[in-house]
């Protein structure tokens, strides 16, 4: 798609950045593009393959991957006009500017997608984490069918789910930054899982390193896949080798900073419609990027244009290699404080991954200095690193192109995931658990445990909990119960100070007499602090040096407090992650993402419904009393029926009667 271009200095609003002077690319729309829902319905009825819709589509990175996997993307929705023009140029059907913060718009869109029998709804809704929303308030937001517009704008993910609920596609694919799912309480993830499972979908989530799926950059993204009828989803296998920057852009010709091509398709406007001479691809990745370029353009590369380079920047770039930090540059070449902007400039390495291409590249390219030329990367190089093929062009000026590229889902990742979705649907295997069922089993089991290995989980007093956690953690169940007897009668700081010698004496036989210093530190800091322990937030508790972050989160999890800003964080203790790892299988063991995968897995086990609180405490207790580091007693575990580890050990048919009732 080459398109008509005109040379302008754009003054349009909406980018939040100064636009770069350069060619404005005006792309012709796809010959089957339409604004008529009836035409979309006709196109859907005539389509041989499955139908997809891409909400919050941007330039269409997801859409390109879906189409390569065999889906026909007939609906794209976004608010950015240049991105929509790009999408409309490359895809049939509707590419519409719709405000999905408006409930009536969501209802109409859902009805259209239901009418055309959409098979897959994809998208990356903008999202603000609800890390401090109370569980009851969040559940109310999720379950209400209509809400004020300002609420909808804070949760476009809910508009996405409402569309799914109306259209009922066979599959859902959602992408976002990892922080969407990994906020303190992981409310959005847990709410999405709760709602999608309630609609009959199996839900599968993961933070993906996109370099595992053929993308030549360091880029992590959160993906959620939901399949109708509880069908299991198998994630694509990771590549054994990475695609380096050289593999991605090493075939592109050298250019000077600020270069504008002089060759042009339009004799009256050669600069704007110009291209650089191209010698041909070398790596398999490059061949793939060139696969759909027309034969008469095989010797051309479009959009290989760069920003002008200041003289001092050019001198700085010339001194840098891929390991040079901004602080290493001579003082006379620094325009920013190096103690704040230590990584302000970054030269890419030919033999490694690029750093993440983000929308900020529309402002400047200092994070993306070419591996051996003294300039920042071109529009085409950024597109290549995001795996956009060379026949795809971007509407608008260069700044708009950079922004669209930085905001996009890499098409290669979308292709891998969409292919895996089709494989899972075409060869369906039932999923092996629902979060709501697992949470119910954990909560029910916890209610049957009278004391357990962590008796302070049942305390109604935060001071008791933080003191017990500081003095008695990682003890055997019998020793922990003995130690708890020393603390359980004491309700406040004064009582604990008065009993200090007795506590120290009682800890002696348990090998914990030295921990009395922990008690002293807690009592001293509380007496000198204005923090009210019983209603303090997790952040306030973490400000106390005597209480570690994990203990602070545990205290708030057990006692959420009485204020409107109730917190119930996901507490990913080493024990909870161990149980989750065994339940889900080996992927939680991966060192690179162990904590991230562990927190996601813990959130999936405890859920977000009425059983969540007891289920979370049950998970923590289970790790210390049944699913221990060595010799786990799978026969006593309430999760044995669905646990991957138990299945490997042959316990799936040995459920005790009490656990069968819970299951």
Give the rounded percent of residues in the chain with a pLDDT score beyond 90: 68
Q: How many structural domains comprise the chain?
A: 4
Residue 62 has pLDDT above 70, yes or no: yes
pLDDT at residue number 12: 38
Confidence of residue 8 (pLDDT cuts 50, 70, 90): very low
Q: Do 197 and 58 belong together in one domain? A: yes
* Residues 183 and 214 reside in one and the same domain: yes
Contact between 570 and 599 under an 8 Å Cβ cutoff? The reply is yes
User: How many CB atoms lie under 10 A from the CB of residue 230?
Assistant: 17
pLDDT confidence of residue 24: 82
**Mean pLDDT, the chain, integer:** 87
Point out the least confidently predicted range of 163-167, 318-322, 567-571.
Answer: 567-571
- pLDDT tens for 310-340 read 999 999 999 999 999 998 999 999 888 877 7
Same domain, 97 and 186: yes
138 — pLDDT class (breaks 50, 70, 90): very low
CATH of the domain at 270: 3.90.120.10
**Residue 18's pLDDT band (cuts 50, 70, 90):** very low
Position with higher pLDDT, 581 vs 32: 32
Q: What is the mean pLDDT of residues 378-402?
A: 96
**What is the mean pLDDT of the segment spanning 533-553?**
90
Q: Report the pLDDT value the prediction gives residue 588, as an integer from 0 to 100.
A: 56
| The pLDDT of residue 122 | 98
**Same structural domain for residues 487 and 514?**
yes
Secondary structure class of 487 (helix, strand, coil): helix
The secondary structure of 264-288 as a DSSP string is ESSGGGTTTTEEEE-----SHHHHH
What would the mean pLDDT of 593-601 be, rounded to a whole number? 82
Give CA–CA dist 120/214, Å, rounded: 23
Q: Are residues 390 and 417 in the same domain?
A: no
Q: Classify residue 217: in a domain, yes or no.
A: yes
pLDDT tens digit sequence for 469-523: 999 998 999 999 999 999 999 999 999 999 999 999 999 999 999 999 999 999 9
Whether 18 maps to a domain, the answer reads yes
**Least-confidence region, from 126-135, 266-275, 592-601:** 126-135
Q: In this structure, is residue 627 part of a structural domain?
A: yes
The least confident of 96-100, 254-258, 347-351, 594-598 is 594-598
| Residue 401 within any structural domain of the chain | no
Backbone angles phi, psi at 391, to 5 degrees: -80, -5
Per-residue pLDDT at 131: 34
pLDDT at site 269:
60
Query: Phi, psi at residue 147, to the nearest 5°?
Result: -145, 160
> How many residues in total does the chain contain?
663
CA distance 572 to 602: 7
Does residue 500 share a domain with residue 443? no
Q: Give the residue, 340 or 148, on which the prediction is more confident.
A: 340
pLDDT of 128 strictly over 60:
no
Q: Rg (Cα) of the chain, in Å, rounded?
A: 28
The span from the CA of 351 to the CA of 624, in Å, is: 46
Are residues 444 and 574 both part of a single domain?
yes
Confidence label for 9 from pLDDT (cuts 50, 70 and 90): very low
State the Cα–Cα distance between residues 232 and 366, nearest whole angstrom.
Answer: 43
- Backbone torsions φ then ψ of 92, nearest 5 degrees: -75, 170
CATH number assigned to the domain comprising residue 576: 1.10.1670.10
Are 207 and 140 found together in one domain?
yes
Among 124-128, 328-332, 515-519, 527-531, the range scoring the smallest mean pLDDT is: 124-128
| Mean pLDDT score, 20-32 | 82
What's the rounded Cα separation, in Å, for the pair 363 and 256?
A: 19
Least confidently predicted of 6-15, 40-49, 491-500, 568-577: 6-15
Residue 202 lies in a domain: yes
Percentage of the chain lying above the pLDDT 70 cut: 86
Are both 604 and 621 inside the same structural domain?
yes
What is the domain extent for residue 645? 435-449+569-663
Query: Do 551 and 591 fall within a single domain?
Result: no
Average pLDDT over residues 351-366: 92
Identify the pLDDT of residue 10: 35
In this predicted structure, what is the pLDDT of residue 267? 63
Q: Is the pTM of this model over 0.85?
A: yes
pLDDT value of position 659:
37
Least-confidence region, from 1-10, 47-56, 404-413: 1-10
For the record, the structure tokens of 160 come out as 């996405």
Core vs surface per residue 590-624: b (16+ CB within 10 A) or e: eeebeebbbbbbbbbbbbbbebbbbbbbbbbbbbb
Same domain, 278 and 386: yes
pLDDT score, position 98: 95
Tokens of residue 513, six digits: 């007499």
Q: Are residues 138 and 224 in the same domain?
A: yes
Give which of 498, 496, 553 is closest to 526, Cα–Cα.
Answer: 496
Query: Per-residue pLDDT for 5 more than 50?
Result: no
Query: Which of the following is catalytic: 127, 627, 637, 643?
Result: 127
Query: Is 148 a member of any domain?
Result: yes
Return the pLDDT at 499.
97
Distance CA 645, CA 657 (A): 20
Task: Look at residue 245 and give its three-state secondary structure.
Answer: helix
CA dist., res. 362 & res. 460, Å (int): 53
Judge whether 637 counts as a catalytic residue. Answer: no
Query: What are the pLDDT digits (tens) for 410-445?
Result: 999 999 999 999 999 999 999 878 999 999 999 999
Residue 19: what pLDDT?
Answer: 42
Q: What is the mean pLDDT of residues 208-222?
A: 95
pLDDT at 266: 67
Does pLDDT of 67 surpass 70?
yes
Q: Give 530's contacts (C-beta < 8 A, 6+ positions apart).
A: none
Q: How confident is the model at residue 629 (pLDDT cuts 50, 70, 90)?
A: confident
Asked whether residue 618 carries a pLDDT value surpassing 70, the answer given is yes
Mean pLDDT lowest among 215-229, 254-268, 302-316, 345-359: 254-268
Per-residue confidence at 290, pLDDT binned at 50, 70, 90?
very high
Task: HSE, CB side, 13 Å, CA atoms: give it for residue 129.
Answer: 16
- Check residue 268 and give its pLDDT: 59
- The CATH number of residue 22's host domain is 3.40.50.150
Q: Can you give the CATH number for the domain in which 502 is found?
A: 1.10.340.30
Residue 527, domain member (yes or no): yes
Confidence at 450, pLDDT banded by 50, 70, 90: confident
Q: Torsions phi, psi of 551, nearest 5?
A: -70, -40
Q: Per the domain annotation, does 405 fall within a domain?
A: no
């Amino acid at each position: 798609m080459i398109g008509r271009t005109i040379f302008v200095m754009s003054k349009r609003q909406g980018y939040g950045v100064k636009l770069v002077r350069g060619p404005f690319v005006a792309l012709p729309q796809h010959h089957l593009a339409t604004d008529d829902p009836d035409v979309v319905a006709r196109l859907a009825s005539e389509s041989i393959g499955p139908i997809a819709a891409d909400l919050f589509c941007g330039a269409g990175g997801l859409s390109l991957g879906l189409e390569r996997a065999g889906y026909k993307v007939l609906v794209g929705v976004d608010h950015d006009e240049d991105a929509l023009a790009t999408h409309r140029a490359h895809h049939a059907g509707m590419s519409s500017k719709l405000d999905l913060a408006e409930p009536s718009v969501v209802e109409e869109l859902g009805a259209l997608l239901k009418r055309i029998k959409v098979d897959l709804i994809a998208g990356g809704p903008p999202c603000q984490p609800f890390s401090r929303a109370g569980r009851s308030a969040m559940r109310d937001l999720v379950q209400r069918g209509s809400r004020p517009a300002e609420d909808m704008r804070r949760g476009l993910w809910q508009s996405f789910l409402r569309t799914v609920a109306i259209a009922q596609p066979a599959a859902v694919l959602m992408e976002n930054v990892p922080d969407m799912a990994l906020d303190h309480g992981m409310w959005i993830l847990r709410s999405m899982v709760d709602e999608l499972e309630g609609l009959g979908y199996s839900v599968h989530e993961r933070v993906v390193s996109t370099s595992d799926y053929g993308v030549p950059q360091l880029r992590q993204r959160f993906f959620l896949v939901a399949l109708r009828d509880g069908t299991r989803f198998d994630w694509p296998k990771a590549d054994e080798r990475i695609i380096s920057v050289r593999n991605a852009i090493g075939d592109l010709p050298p250019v000077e900073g600020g270069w504008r091509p002089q060759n042009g398709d339009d004799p009256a406007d050669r600069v704007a419609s110009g291209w650089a001479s191209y010698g041909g691809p070398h790596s398999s990745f490059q061949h793939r990027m060139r696969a759909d370029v027309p034969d008469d353009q095989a010797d051309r590369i479009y959009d290989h244009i760069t920003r002008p380079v200041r003289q001092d920047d050019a001198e700085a770039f010339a001194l840098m290699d891929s390991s040079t930090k901004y602080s290493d540059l001579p003082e006379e070449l620094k325009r920013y404080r190096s103690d704040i902007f230590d990584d302000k400039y970054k030269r890419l390495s030919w033999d490694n991954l690029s750093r993440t291409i983000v929308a900020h590249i529309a402002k400047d390219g200092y994070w993306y200095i070419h591996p051996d030329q003294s300039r920042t990367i071109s529009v085409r190089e950024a597109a290549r690193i995001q795996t956009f093929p060379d026949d795809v062009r971007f509407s608008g000026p260069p700044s708009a192109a950079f922004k669209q590229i930085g905001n996009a889902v890499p098409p290669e990742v979308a292709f891998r995931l969409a292919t895996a979705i089709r494989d899972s649907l075409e060869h369906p295997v039932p999923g092996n658990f629902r979060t709501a069922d697992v949470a119910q089993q954990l909560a029910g089991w916890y209610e049957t445990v009278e004391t357990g290995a962590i008796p302070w989980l049942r305390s109604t007093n935060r001071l008791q909990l933080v003191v017990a956690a500081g003095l008695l953690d990682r003890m055997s169940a019998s020793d922990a119960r003995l130690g708890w007897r020393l603390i359980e009668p004491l309700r406040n700081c004064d009582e604990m100070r008065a009993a200090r010698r007795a506590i120290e004496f009682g800890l002696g036989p348990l090998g914990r007499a030295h921990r009395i210093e922990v008690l002293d530190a807690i009592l001293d800091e509380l007496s000198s602090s204005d923090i009210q322990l019983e209603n303090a937030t997790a952040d306030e508790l973490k400000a106390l040096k005597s209480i570690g972050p994990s203990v602070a989160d545990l205290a708030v999890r057990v006692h959420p407090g009485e204020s409107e800003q109730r917190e119930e964080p996901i507490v990913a203790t080493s024990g909870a992650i161990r149980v989750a790892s065994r339940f889900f299988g080996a992927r939680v063991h991966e060192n690179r993402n162990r904590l991230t995968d562990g927190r996601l897995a813990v959130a999936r086990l405890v859920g977000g419904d009425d059983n969540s609180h007891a289920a979370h405490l049950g998970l923590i207790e289970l790790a210390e009393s049944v699913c221990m580091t060595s010799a786990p007693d799978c026969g006593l575990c309430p999760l044995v029926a669905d646990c991957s580890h138990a299945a490997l050990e042959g316990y799936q048919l040995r459920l005790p009667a009490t656990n069968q009732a819970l299951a």
